[in-house]
């Protein structure tokens, strides 16, 4: 059997001629892909509805999944050939955190797209701590330091402060933790003996499936949550909560979902994997081209019950370049959802490494790892060679522009400057341990969690 590395090198060589499009011999042409009902599954819906899968000879069925664990299990056991995944899922599975399986990604699905929302009651308690602009509206971005006195008052009354995120290795978990820690709140640690993630926590985070976030908050079970769209805007639409920050404000152009499939599938079906990647790249291009001119049509597609199934008005609030915080406080956020520009679809090793640093920061990776380990793990999961092979074919076929792809990249983005992150701390994927040392809250160096305390 070919290894992924040999496969990618051979494919890159083959893909240098336009004739490659005619030579693609699909190993498997009937495929089932899973997704969760979020707007960032859009590349899958668009590739299906616009016929991009069919153009590659693929006959695809898209199936909504109940939650992220069911989705991952489906890919591992072969019921699903691939899926819209949390970026942390292929990484966690590959290193054996939770369910162990080698999952790869040749395609990053989007940048940004999440928000943190609090209930109306919590918002009213936060507001006195938030600076206002000349017109009286809250000044953004809003720091979690505005939430800290509220959390402290609940603690003084003996009440736990509960918030929701979608999965233990989700971007949403790490973004919510990042925001809380940047504001001086401890979001809690994981250990090998306690996987609640609530060891020593000021704010208790727990899992809630995305579509259930608004109703769970409305019931008072949680006081706020971090989730992707349209479930922040749904809280505004229903009048039950206020988004306090988007992840674009938290970390400008941060990576989000990926398309994941098993390493075994990619090894056994290299041409099919290439064809899938081609179709997804075309969908991403369509979603962003001509200054988001196709977004209204994308909203209409996503609003259908078989995809996201939320009101088109709610989905459009973020997908069309705006974001509504409080009722009537709609602001321009043209990059809230990014699907192609800024090399959004290229699977950067540095993106993978950021997720791994957050797993280490909060104890999901229990012991210190070398910088080399982070890089090797990223390369084991993120597969830019497959991506660039697909991109080369699209360019040769006249379906994509040569200038739109990072052909000479070594897999690492330029470091994220301090001014692009909520806590003013820069991120360089080439130096993961130095980055962990720079974060005031979280594990660093040789520290480990033993019982209810950090040692080392």
Same domain, 240 and 307: no
Q: What is the pLDDT of residue 24?
A: 84
Are 120 and 225 in a shared domain?
yes
Q: Is residue 232 part of a domain?
A: yes
Of 22-36, 74-88, 228-242, the least confident: 22-36
Question: What's the pLDDT score for residue 64?
Answer: 98
| pLDDT for the residue numbered 111 | 98
347 vs 256, 277, 281, CA distance in Å?
11, 12, 12
pLDDT digits (tens, 9 = 90+) for 316-360: 999 998 999 999 999 999 999 999 999 999 999 999 999 999 999
Considering the chain, what is the average pLDDT of its residues?
Answer: 94
- Residue 451's CB is within 10 A of a number of other CB atoms, namely 10
| Residue 280 contacts residue 259 (beta carbons within 8 Å) | yes
Q: What is the mean pLDDT of residues 175-187?
A: 98
43 and 106 share a domain? Answer: yes
Task: Please check whether residues 272 and 194 belong to one and the same domain.
Answer: no
pLDDT at 10 over 50: no
Specify if 120 maps to a domain.
Answer: yes
| Rounded mean pLDDT, 81-106 | 97
Q: Determine the Cα–Cα distance for residues 190 and 74; give it in Å rounded to an integer.
A: 26
Q: How far is the C-alpha of 50 from the C-alpha of 276, rounded, in Å?
A: 14
Give dist(CA 359, CA 318) in Å, integer: 29
Same domain membership, residue 260 and residue 150: no
Q: What is the rounded CA–CA span in Å between residue 247 and residue 172?
A: 9
Residue 146 lies in a domain: yes
At 403-443, the pLDDT tens digits run: 999 999 999 999 999 999 999 999 999 999 999 999 999 99
What's the confidence (pLDDT) of residue 224? 98
Give the Å distances, CA to CA, from 27 to 30, 273, 361, 389, 403. 10, 9, 41, 17, 31
pLDDT of residue 22: 56
Residues 215 and 265 in one domain: no
Measured distance CA(126)–CA(223) in Å, rounded: 12
Classify residue 430: in a domain, yes or no.
Answer: no
Helix (H, G, I), strand (E, B) or coil at 376: helix
Confirm if 35 and 63 have CB atoms less than 8 A apart.
Answer: yes
Alpha-carbon distance of 254 to 248, in angstroms, equals: 7
pLDDT, position 67: 93
What value, to the nearest 5°, has the Cα angle with vertex 113 and ends 112 and 115? 105
According to the model, what pLDDT value does residue 4 have? 53
Judge contact between 309 and 320, C-beta under 8 A: no
Domain that residue 218 falls in: 114-253
DSSP code of residue 305: T
For the chain, the domain total comes to 2
Does residue 450 form part of some domain? no
Name the β-bridge partners of 382: 105
CATH number of the domain to which 135 belongs: 3.40.190.10
CA separation (Å) from 211 to 112, 227, 235, 291? 18, 9, 11, 29
Single out the residue of 253, 234, 251 nearest to residue 243, CA to CA: 234
Q: Give the E-state strand segments of 86-141 in sequence order.
A: 103-108, 111-112, 114-119
């Amino acid at each position: 059997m070919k290894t992924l590395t040999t496969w990618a090198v051979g494919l890159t060589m083959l893909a240098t001629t336009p004739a490659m499009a005619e030579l693609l011999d699909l190993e498997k042409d009937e495929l089932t892909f899973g997704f969760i009902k979020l707007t960032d599954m859009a590349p899958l819906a668009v590739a299906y509805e616009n016929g991009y899968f069919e153009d590659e000879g693929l006959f695809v069925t898209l199936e909504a999944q109940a939650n992220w664990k069911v989705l991952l299990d489906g890919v591992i056991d072969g019921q699903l050939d691939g899926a819209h995944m949390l970026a942390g899922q292929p990484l966690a599975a590959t290193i054996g955190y939770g369910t162990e399986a080698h999952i790869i990604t040749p395609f990053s699905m989007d940048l940004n797209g999440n928000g943190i929302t609090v209930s109306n009651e919590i918002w009213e308690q936060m507001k006195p701590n938030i600076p206002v602009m000349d017109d009286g509206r809250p000044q953004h971005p809003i720091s979690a330091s505005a939430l800290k006195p509220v959390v402290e008052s609940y603690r003084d009354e003996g009440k736990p402060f509960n918030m929701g995120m979608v999965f233990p290795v989700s971007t949403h978990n790490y973004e919510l933790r990042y925001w809380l820690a940047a504001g001086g709140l401890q979001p809690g640690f994981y250990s090998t003996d306690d996987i609640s993630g609530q060891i020593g926590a000021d704010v208790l985070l727990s899992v809630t499936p995305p579509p259930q976030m608004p109703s769970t908050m409305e019931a008072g079970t949680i006081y706020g949550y971090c989730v992707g769209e349209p479930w922040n805007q749904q809280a505004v639409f229903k009048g039950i909560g206020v988004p306090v920050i988007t992840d674009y404000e938290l970390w400008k152009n941060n990576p989000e979902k990926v398309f994941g499939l098993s390493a075994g599938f990619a090894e056994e079906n290299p041409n099919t994997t290439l064809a899938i990647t081609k179709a997804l790249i075309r969908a991403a291009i369509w979603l962003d081209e001509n200054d988001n001119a196709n977004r209204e049509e994308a909203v209409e597609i996503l609003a259908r019950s078989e995809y996201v199934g939320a009101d088109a008005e709610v989905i459009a609030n973020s997908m069309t370049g705006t974001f509504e915080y409080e009722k009537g406080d709609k602001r321009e956020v043209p990059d809230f959802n990014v699907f192609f520009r800024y090399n959004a679809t290229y699977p950067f090793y540095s993106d993978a490494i950021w997720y791994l640093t957050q797993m280490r920061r909060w104890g999901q990776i229990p012991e210190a790892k070398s910088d080399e380990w982070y890089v090797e793990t990223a390369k084991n999961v993120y597969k830019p060679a497959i991506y660039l092979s697909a991109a080369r074919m699209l360019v040769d076929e006249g379906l994509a522009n040569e200038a739109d792809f990072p052909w000479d990249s070594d897999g690492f983005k330029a470091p994220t400057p301090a001014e692009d992150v909520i806590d003013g701390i820069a991120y360089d994927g080439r130096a993961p341990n130095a980055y962990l040392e720079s974060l005031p809250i979280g594990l660093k160096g040789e520290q480990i969690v033993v019982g209810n305390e950090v040692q080392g």
